[in-house]
Amino acid sequence: MLEQWYTGVVTKIVDETYNTKRFWIQIPEKASFDFKPGQFVTLDLPIHEKKNKRWRSYSIASHPNGSNEIELVIVLLEGGLGSTYLFTQIKEGSELTLRGPLGVFTLPEVMERDLFLVCTGTGIAPFRSMAHHLHLHGIPHPNIYLISGSRYEKDLLYKTEMMQLSADMPGFQYIPTLSREDAPSWTGRKGYVHAVYEELLADKRPAHFFLCGWKAMIDEARQKIVAMGYDRHDIHLELYG
């Protein structure tokens, strides 16, 4: 079956950090854009003659709410044709060609084990969607640990919102972890995300791992998690860049 392409209209753009923007896109052809938390859309951008070199995929950062509008959070990659186009050419009211929702990076049907959602950078997008979805619908869930890695505090996305969710949602813990921050005002975790889940899982209890973000982080996490004695089938991943 050929995927259908839609015309999306950009309704709002917000600068989230110095190098990331949030884009809200409405799909007028659909009364509601239904997706599962964790899925992504693919944009067809006019940046190349070849189709496959024009396509850029982004996880949906918003949760399914019955509307025909979704949110994407996008980082400006140095030399990145796709993100440069979106940052410089797209304004509120611009049109974008997209297809989706796509992907199987979604919550398990049966959630009996603790969930470790490990991300770097904009890799937090699918986890934000999942967490809000579970909270809003009161879906029973095990302990959920959202371990979000960045270099500096200024790089953290949705920090205030995730801290609020951590306070409001029993069994949900947001653990931002910074690898290069040396400001005395930062009292949270320092270092890399791996040390956090290794510590939390010293008891080797059953767990599911969802990894989203930079390839180097995902490769290292896969090795470490298997070395801890977990099965590779316990690991689900979505690669960025």
Domain 114-240 fold is: Rossmann fold (3.40.50)
pLDDT in tens, 53-100: 999 999 999 999 999 999 999 999 999 999 999 999 999 999 999 999
pLDDT in tens, 25-60: 999 999 999 999 999 999 999 999 998 899 999 999
Q: Where are the domains of the chain?
A: 5-102, 114-240
Q: Quote the pLDDT of residue 84.
A: 98
| Averaged pLDDT, 96-123 | 95
Three-class secondary structure assignment of 39-92: CEEEEECCCCCCHHHCEEEEECCCCCCCCCEEEEEEECCCCCHHHHHHHHHCCC
Looking at the DSSP assignment, which residues form a beta bridge with residue 213? 239
pTM: 0.96
CA 41 – CA 99 distance, rounded (Å): 6
Looking at domain 5-102, its CATH architecture is: Beta Barrel (2.40)
First-last CA distance in the chain: 27
